[in-house]
Structure formats: C-alpha cells, structure tokens
Amino acid sequence: MVITIKNTQESSVGVVETKYFEFSDFESESGERIDNVILAYETYGELNEEKSNAILILHALSGDAHAAGIHEGQNDPGWWDSMIGPGKAFDTNKYFLICSNVLGGCKGSTGPSSINPKTGVPYALDFPLITINDMVNAQRHLIDHLGINRLLAVAGGSMGGMQALAWLIRYPDRIRSAIPIATAARHSPQQIAFNEVGRRAIISDPEWKSGNYYDALPPARGLSVARMIGHITYMSDASMSEKFGRQRKGASQSHKFTADFEVEGYLRYRGDSFVNRFDANSYLYISKSMDNFDASEGKPLQDVLQGIKAKVLVIAFKSDWLYPAYQSKEILKACKASGVEATYCEVDSNYGHDAFLLEVEEEAHLIGHFLGRIFYEYEVAENYAI
C-alpha cells in the first residue's frame, strides 16, 4: 500500500460553500435548552455508497467550518487547506470530509450572538454555558442528519483535539478512529490562566457591558488584547526569534508607546484584525468550555477508555509549550493502560502550538498513512464479512 501525500495549493478542493443544518430542542449538559440550533458546516469529497469514508474535522478556538478550498469570489483558503484536498493527508479522492463550526461559535453556528427566539435579541450571556461535550453532541446530530452511522475518523488540533477525545469517550461506537493533535485531556492551571487573562481583558473593556454590546460597539480593545496573548502562546520562543528578531518598524510613532519592534506591530495587527471576524462573547464561552473540559471528569483517563475499539493517533509538537508533549503522552499512556490501540508521534518543529497548522509535511504523512490503514482494515473486514 503506497500512499503519496501532496501538500501543494494546486491540489485544492476548489470553490466550496458553507451549508447550514438546523435542528430543534437541544439540551446542554448543564440542563439548559436551546430551542433551535443551526450548525454551519462544509463538506469536501464524496460520501461513498457504504457511507464508510466520512471523516469529521474539528476546529480550534477561533476556527470555523471553512477548513478547505475557497469561497466564491474570495482568495483565502480554508484553515486546514494544506491538509485537506485531492492527494493530501485528508484525501478528498478517497474520503468524505465534514467540518462544522462549533456550537457557541460565531461563524454561522448558534452561539451567544445569535437571536434568542424567546426575546428577539441576541442571547448574549443568556446563552447556556456550553461544554466540549455539548459541541460534540451537536455534531452528532449533524452526522445523524447526513445518514452516517460510523465515522472513519474524527480529527483536530488544540480544542479540536479535545472534541476528538470527547467523541472517543462519548460515542466510541460511532467512530473507527480518533486523531487528537496538540491537545490535552484537561487544561493545566497555566492553560486556564492564559485563557482567563484573555477573558479578563474582554470583561474589563467598558464596551463589553456584561455581554450586551450587540446594539453598539463591540469590546474591540479587550478582544484584541485577548488575541495578542493567544498569539504569543501559539508561537514559540524560537519561531518568534526567527520571524521577528529585534527588528524595528520604521513607521512614525504617535506617542512613546506606539509599537516599534516588528513583533509588537505584528501582534497589534493580529489582535485588531481578529476583532473584525470574531465575537467577544463567543471567545468567552468557547475558551471557558476548554478550561472546564476534563475528558475523564475527575476519574483516571484510562478508566473511561476501557473497552473502546476505536484506534487512536496522538500527535504532539516538540516546541509546543502551550500544549506540551507530556499532555499528549498522558493520553497515549491512558490508551495503552486501557487496551485502546494507540500510536504516538512527537513531530520536531519550531512553530510552537501553531505547528499543527503549519508543520504540515510530517503531520500529513502520519495522518495519511494512519487513515489509509484504518480504511484498509475496515474494507478487509467488510470483505471477509461478505
């Protein structure tokens, strides 16, 4: 079995469209109800007749349903376009890919910025405090709707990896494999701390108004600061040194504390541009769902993995200090201890946490081969069964 992985932009899925799936009466883990849920999603490739080639792609904190290809009239490829397409790791010639924006998001799915049908105004903080399990539960409704009984794989990095773990533990019989990347079974206090200071920046912004800003200006400055903090943690000391060094910008300065180092200008730009594409309340809800996530809910992780037949590929990146490799190794160890078939790979990369989006070559090989094996084993099993 020879698998060739292409990473080039040439092998694109082309022009894609976001679709919307609607269902009613969702009950969150906290017991609160959402009358009507919309999930924005995209699909790439074709679902085969046996519906055995479907893979669910799971996005990170600020991601969305647009994982690959381009939208009509726009140039920006989806956030994991380097990994999804004909001949790529998630090979659209073989597999049917699905990516949905999470519940609680702001990119087409129902979240705090959506209109609450009971009041006719956005939910804001009346939106239930959703969990990673709620996100996964909503995705399961979408998978049901698409008529897929069993996914070939669920795969994602960072918060996407948490969702992959939640799928593995909550719906083990609905998946053949899970690929949690650059993630953790639960946040350490340092990870909570970085999220909390971002939330605090948003909440401290007078424009936040306890979340009721939708008829006025958003808390842009607070959200920008939150995103700046995020960006520092997504990169590594080494990747920042390579990218920026101590270079200064030549631009004129409006006051003594205008950004003058390149790295300062970059962070400010990334912070400010984030404000145009993300909702501050969604940032609060989603980051909190990550902090509250505990794959095994206080129990040892190996206890909740007992008896699971789905196979696991755990990937970590050496320079990722936000989700350090030891957290991925803990997942591997729990799989091994509970008899779940699991493979672990630590990819050498300078990119830090961003590596799961940028250090594509080795990641693509690992995932391409893993999926090829899972799919092959499934087909063999089916043929024996006939």
DSSP label of 9: T
**Closest separation in Å from C-beta 129 to its own copies:** 5
- State yes or no: residue 218 binds its own copies (CB under 8 A): no
Tell me if residue 272 is catalytic: no
- Distance in angstroms (rounded) separating the CA atoms of residues 285 and 202: 12
Among 268, 329, 336, 373, binds its own copies (CB under 8 A): 268
C-beta closer to its own copies: residue 260 or 362: 260
Amino acid at 109: S
CA 357, 85, 88, 143 torsion-angle sign: positive
Amino acid at 68: A
Segments of the chain assigned E as strands: 15-16, 19-27, 33-44, 54-58, 70-71, 84-85, 90-91, 96-100, 153-157, 177-181, 311-317, 342-347
Catalytic residue among 287, 320, 349, 354: 320
**Closest separation in Å from C-beta 277 to its own copies:** 19
- Distance in angstroms (rounded) separating the CA atoms of residues 341 and 338: 9
- Distance in angstroms (rounded) separating the CA atoms of residues 234 and 91: 27
With contacts defined by CB under 8 A, name the span among 19-27, 51-59, 159-167, 230-238 that binds its own copies: 230-238
**Closest separation in Å from C-beta 314 to its own copies:** 19
- State yes or no: residue 24 binds its own copies (CB under 8 A): no
Tell the residue number behind the tokens 């909550």, with chain if given. 170
- State yes or no: residue 271 binds its own copies (CB under 8 A): yes
Contacts of 383 by beta carbon, 8 Å cutoff, 6+ apart: none
Count residues near its own copies (CB under 8 A).
54
Contacts 24+ apart (CB under 8 A), 135-138: 135/102, 135/103, 135/104, 135/163, 135/166, 135/289, 136/163, 136/166, 136/167, 136/170, 136/171, 137/26, 137/29, 137/170, 138/26, 138/37, 138/39, 138/100, 138/102, 138/103, 138/109
- Distance in angstroms (rounded) separating the CA atoms of residues 226 and 166: 26
The 100-139 contact track toward its own copies, x by CB under 8 A, reads: -------------------------x---x----------
C-beta closer to its own copies: residue 346 or 362: 346
C-beta closer to its own copies: residue 78 or 219: 219
Quickly count helices (H) and strands (E) in the chain: 11, 12
In DSSP terms, 16 is beta-bridged to 71
- State yes or no: residue 267 binds its own copies (CB under 8 A): yes
With contacts defined by CB under 8 A, name the span among 59-67, 87-95, 145-153, 223-231 that binds its own copies: 223-231
- State yes or no: residue 365 binds its own copies (CB under 8 A): no
C-beta closer to its own copies: residue 129 or 337: 129
Contacts of 66 by beta carbon, 8 Å cutoff, 6+ apart: 16, 18, 42, 78, 79, 99, 107
Tell me if residue 158 is catalytic: yes
Among 264, 330, 346, 362, binds its own copies (CB under 8 A): 264
- State yes or no: residue 276 binds its own copies (CB under 8 A): no
- State yes or no: residue 23 binds its own copies (CB under 8 A): no
C-beta closer to its own copies: residue 264 or 362: 264
Amino acid at 291: D
Tell me if residue 224 is catalytic: no
In DSSP terms, 90 is beta-bridged to 84
C-beta closer to its own copies: residue 27 or 46: 27
CA 315, 304, 171, 18 torsion-angle sign: negative
- Distance in angstroms (rounded) separating the CA atoms of residues 178 and 124: 33
For residue 301, the SS3 value is: helix
The 178-217 contact track toward its own copies, x by CB under 8 A, reads: --------xxxxx-xxx-xx-xxx-xxxx---xx------
Among 221, 311, 318, 353, binds its own copies (CB under 8 A): 221
The 285-324 contact track toward its own copies, x by CB under 8 A, reads: ---x--x--x--------------------------x--x
C-beta closer to its own copies: residue 90 or 208: 208
- Binding interface with its own copies (CB under 8 A): 125, 129, 186-190, 192-194, 196-197, 199-201, 203-206, 210-211, 221-222, 224-225, 228-229, 232, 235-237, 240-241, 243-246, 255-257, 259, 261-264, 267-268, 271, 284, 288, 291, 294, 321, 324
Catalytic residues, by residue number, are 158, 320, 353
